[in-house]
Amino acid sequence: MVITDVILPIVFIVLLGFLLRRFGGKYEHAFSKTQLYILGPALLFSVMARNDTGYSLLLEILIYVIILSAGLLLLTQVIGKLSGGGRVERNAMSLAGVFTNSGFYGIPVCMLAFGEEGLKWAALYVVASATVQSTLGVFLASAGKKRATAALATVFKVPLIWALIAGRVLADVNLLPPEPFMEMIDLLGRSAIPLGLLLLGMQLERIIAGDDVETECAETEIVSPRRLVSLGITSGVIKIFGGLGIALAILRFFDVDPVLRNVMLVQSAMPTAVTAVVYATEFDCRPRIVAIGILSSTLISVGSITMILSFLI
C-alpha cells in the first residue's frame, strides 16, 4: 500500500529530524552544508554519470518546469491581488506557491514509489527546478533590501549544477573516475536521501519555533497575524492543488516516458521548499507568510501525495 510503503517511512524520518532539533540541539547548519556541498552533488553526479539521457530530454524537463512555475506565479499573483494584497504580500505568496520541495521530499517519494528509474528522473527534475527557482526566487524576494543582480551570482556558487554538468561531460568523453571511486560517489549520493529527510524535519521544527522568521518586511504597514495565516495557508493550498492542476493540463502536450510523466506529476504537487523562507527572510519579504505556506503545504501533502500515488501505482 502507498501509505505504508512510501508515506510512512518518509514521515517517520522527517519526524526523527524534527525531534532531533527539538530535543537534541540545533545541528541543521552542519547537516545542510553536508547536504549542499557533498551528498547532494554526489547524488547528481552519480545520476548523470550512469544514465544516457539526451540533452533534448533534459531541455524538455526544464521547459516543463518553467511553464509550471509561470502558471503558479500567475495564479498566486492573481489570487493575491484579489485578496487585496500589496506587492510584497503577493511576492511572498508567489515564493510559497512556486518553490517546490523536489529534493528533500520529492526524491525519496519518487524513489520509493517508482524505483531506480524514479530516482533518476527525480534527481534531474531537482536540477531543473533549482535553476528556475533560484533565479525567479531572487527577483520575487528582492522587494526588500538587496539588489537582485548581485544576489543572482549566488546561483552559480551552488555546486549542484556543476556536479550535474561534470557528471554528464565526463561520461560523454569517457573520463569518469575508476569504478571503486564511482562506487564511493554512489554511496555518498544515496546518503543524501535519508539525510535530506532528517534535514527537512529539522527545518520544519525551526519554522514552528520561529527561528527562521526574525524580521518582517521593511514596509511600515502592519499586517494582522490572522491575515498572515490566511495568506500563508492559501499559498500552501495553491502550491499543492494548483501545481497538480497545472501539471495535468500541460503534461498533455509532453510526449515523455510513462515513469518520467509520473515523476513530473508527483514533483509538481510537492509542498513548498524550505529554501523559500530563506529568500523571504534574506530580502525582507513577509517571511511569516512563506513559513506558514511551507508548514501548511507539507501537512496537506501527506494526504495529497498518498492520493496521487494511489492512482499512479
pLDDT, position 14: 93
Q: Quick one: which of 242, 209, 186, 296 has its CA closest to 70?
A: 242
Is pLDDT of 54 > 90?
no
Distances (CA, A) of 300 to 15, 110, 249: 16, 18, 21
Average pLDDT across the chain, whole number: 86
For 75-130, what is each residue's pLDDT tens digit? 999 999 998 888 889 989 999 999 999 988 999 999 999 998 999 899 889 888 88
Is pLDDT of 151 > 60?
no
Is pLDDT of 16 > 80?
yes
Enter the pTM of the model: 0.86
Residue 18 CB neighbour total at 10 angstroms: 19
pLDDT, position 157: 65
Q: How many Å apart are CA 90 and CA 84, to the nearest integer?
A: 9
**Bridge partner residues of 100 (DSSP):** 272
Q: What percent of the chain has pLDDT over 70?
A: 88
Can you tell me which residue has the cell 549520493?
189
Q: How many Å apart are CA 59 and CA 174, to the nearest integer?
A: 23
Give the residue extent of every domain in the chain. 2-312
For 194-250, what is each residue's pLDDT tens digit? 998 998 999 899 888 876 554 444 444 566 778 889 999 999 999 999 999 999 999
pLDDT, position 214: 47
Of residues 63 and 280, more confidently modeled: 63
Distances (CA, A) of 62 to 1, 126, 169, 178, 251: 32, 10, 18, 31, 13
Is pLDDT of 145 > 50?
no
What's the grid cell of residue 188? Answer: 555518498
pLDDT, position 156: 63
pLDDT, position 29: 80
Q: How many Å apart are CA 238 and CA 290, to the nearest integer?
A: 12
| CATH number belonging to domain 2-312 | 1.20.1530.20
